[in-house]
Structure 1
Amino acid sequence: MTGPIDFDEMLAKVAPDNPNRSFLLKSLIEIRAGQDDQALMTRLMTGLVMKYAESERQLNRLNAELREKQEHLDADLKAAAVIQTALLPKPLPAASNVRAAWKFVPCQSIGGDVFLLTPLGKRYLMVAVVDISGHGVPSAMVTVSVCQFLQPQAGTVFQPGAGPDGAVVPPGQVLASLDREFPYFRFKKTFSIFYGVLDRVTGRFTFANGGHPQPFLQTPDGALTTLEEHGPIIGMGLGSTFPEGSLTLSPGSRLTFYSDGLTECRNPSGELFGDDRVRDLLAAHHALPLPDLAAAIHAGASRFVAGAGFPDDFTLVHLEFAGPPASPA
């Protein structure tokens, strides 16, 4: 049998009173059902193959779009990394009576850390350590804006024409201005900042802290204290005024600044590195030159995380006051 069975034709050949008619009818129904099932299965299989082919075409199209978007995202992240690195300070002059060293390791997803060591005129040196919330291009763009705000030529931190050495805007006032200029509702970001100004002639260091980890002061004999004064984080409108602190550095005194990328890194057990371990490393290595000190602290933190890396930007900055210059700056 090469063609489909004509069930009606076969049934018509059997007389209505034939005792075998009911058996034949049942058999024909079963045969027809089998053929219908095969046809149905064929239609279903054909439909499934067509749907699979269409889904595969859509999946390939979506994968191509995702690859294109990922390429654009990677390009944006590379650009943000270049911007972040370009904002890092240049080394201080070798003849300066202030020495500096730092260790900065950006995280893979591009964080919002940045730090500035910027001369304000000839007499003063500004130090700022900033940590923008979040990661990626949006955080990097806010970082750029904050750095622009803190440039001497912007007039927000220094007034060069006021007196022979210019006039430094008080650190507490600088932070209050930042809090007004960078509200959360506009940028959807907050940030912490430690901001200070060193008088290179007298060694007087004046500072304000907006929600940032508290720096360490280390005297030449290795004794450690923290700079306690601090105010709220920037961007939430919580501080119309920010308390200021000040101290006079003796020759050989050091200041250590860092972001929470150091203190909040974790070991495989989930334990935080914490401020106490920073203190212990500073105490153990206080006799080292600044570059070696920065390397020792980074190595200690790297051992702690056991090769897992740092999920946030690692920022560590050291300053050392060598004493008043031989002649007024």
Structure 2
Amino acid sequence: MSTSAKDIGRLFSPLQIGSIVDCVEPLSAGSEAGWALELLAERPELEVVPIERDGAVLGVVSRHVLEGIVESAWKRFWQKDLDAYVVPARRSVEATDYVDRIVAVDLADVEKDDPGWYIVNHRRAYLGIVNLRTMLEHLNHLRSLDLRRAGEMQKHLLSKKPDEDPRFRICFYNRMAHEIGGDFYRSTQIGEDRWLVACFDVAGKNISGALATSALGAIFACFKLFAYAGEAQLTTGLLNALVHEVNPGDVFVAAALFYLDMKAMTVEIHNCGFSPVLAFIPQENRKIACKMARPNLPPLGIEDRMVNDAPQLIPITPGLRLTAYSDGLTDMTDPFGERYGEERTIEYLRTLHKSSQADIPGLVGTEVDKWIGESHLADDITLVDLRFL
């Protein structure tokens, strides 16, 4: 009784109406309801059958209307031509028309219980039928596929092994609130005995955030490919200029940037609107001092130029530990709506000081699950743990 447009050569792209049309042969308006139901038996999932008169497709007749005629002897005796029961099509569309454009135009005018049927033509000839519900389901499917692919690409960017040195160890933890997100991290060498370890939190989630993180990934790829060796202030200024150049004005990026100089044995911290950076510094008698580096610079991309007049320097000593986290950690809520908060976050990160760095991703993941319970993350969480040997 019918075939799919995909079965006749896949003539159309997934974005076009022709890719989801049901190529159902129309019945003549003079056909009997019983015969129409017999044909529908071949397609139990089909809700309607198209009706034509004199070569023109008028609309569709629903299965339940046909069943009502057949079940009543009186209605069978007095059955009118099927075009008397036709639900007119909303309009005719071309198989090459794009699904999203039709939905955008017609969705607001469709009543709640009306599936909204369309006659689909191709090269001036009837091809089949499709309804608005099918279009919406198809668009949702395409969007899901796009998000899944974007998530795979983002995971590929984040899965690249960080550049390391025997004198220090780096551990990253990341958990997205959705398929794709706006957090990013990377470490790379930027000169002889100098390294950059960075965490980013884009002011934009899902697709917009993922696009911004892709741009950041491209920047770090260029650093590596072209053996970039800029100084700390120059590098932060360059990152700021690039973020400002490639993103709209309302998109900015919070960042925690650690510039390691293993010759001078210092870490220069540029906190660009990020959550507080914690430094756990070994003291005498095996005590640990905790210092906090709050933002000393605006987020990247807000200003066209970035000037750091007061860099935060920390001497590198064996046992020094630096950690930074995105605000998704402090902002996560339990099932009753209580925030995890900064105080609880800092105290928890203190407890990780004695834990093996290899155990940190699992420990943090367990803590997140324990806190949120059955609720969901509202924001991405990224954490970096940097330890000097």
Q: TM-score, normalised by structure 1?
A: 0.71
Give the equivalent residue in structure 1 for 2:161.
Answer: 90
Q: Report the Cα offset of residue 248 of structure 1.
A: 0.8
Equivalent in 167, 178, 182 of residue 108 of structure 1? 178
Overall identity of the aligned pairs, in %? 22
1:283 counterpart = 2:350: yes
Match of 2:341 in 1: 274
**One-letter code of the match for 1:148?**
A
1:180 alignment partner in structure 2: 241
Relative distance call for 1:48 and 1:179 in structure 2 (3 A) is farther
5+ long unaligned stretches in structure 2:
1-81, 91-113, 119-129
The equivalent residue for 1:19 is: none
Which of the pair has more CA radius of gyration?
Answer: 1
- 1:241 paired with 2:303, answer no
For residues 272 and 264 of structure 1, the distance between their equivalents in structure 2, rounded to whole angstroms, comes to: 6
Instruction: Classify 1:103/1:186 alpha carbon distance in 2 versus 1 (closer, same or farther; 3 Å).
Output: closer
Q: Are positions 1:197 and 2:259 aligned together? A: yes
What is the SS of the residue equivalent to 2:329? helix
Contiguous gaps of at least 5 residues in structure 1: 1-45, 160-167, 323-329
Q: Check whether the contact 1:102–1:316 (CA below 8 A) recurs between aligned residues.
A: yes
Name the one with the larger strand percent: 2
Aligned to 1:34: none
Q: For the Cα contact (< 8 Å) 1:232–1:238, is it kept in 2?
A: no
Partners in 2 of 1:293 and 1:224 — Cα distance?
Answer: 19
SS at match of 1:99: strand
Q: Return the offset for 1:223.
A: 2.6
Could you tell me which residue of structure 2 aligns to residue 306 of structure 1? 373
Distance 1:271 1:48, change over 3 A: farther
What is the deviation of 1:116? 0.4
Q: Match for residue 324 of structure 2?
A: 257
- Per the alignment, residue 276 of structure 2 pairs with 214
Higher relative contact order (CA 8 A, sep 6+): 1
Residue 178 and residue 117 in structure 1: after superposition, are their counterparts in 2 closer, same or farther (change >3 A)? closer
Q: 2:169 corresponds to which letter in structure 1?
A: R
Q: Which residue of 1 aligns with 2:364?
A: 297
Q: Does 2:170 match 1:131?
A: no
Q: What is the aligned length?
A: 266
CA RMSD of aligned residues (A): 2.9
Shift of 1:201: 4.0
Does the 8 A contact of 1:282 with 1:297 survive in 2?
A: no
**Contact persistence 2:170–2:384 (CA under 8 A):** yes
- Counterpart of 1:69 in structure 2 is 139
Runs ≥4 residues deviating over 6 A? 46-49
Q: Which amino acid aligns with 2:346?
A: R
Once the two structures are TM-superposed, the CA of residue 254 in structure 1 deviates from its matched residue by 0.6
Q: Equivalents in 2 of 1:275, 1:284: separation in Å?
A: 14
CA–CA distance in 2 between the matches of 1:184 and 1:274? Answer: 34
Task: Decide whether the 8 Å contact of 1:262 with 1:273 is kept in 2.
Answer: yes
Change (3 A) 1:199 1:185: closer
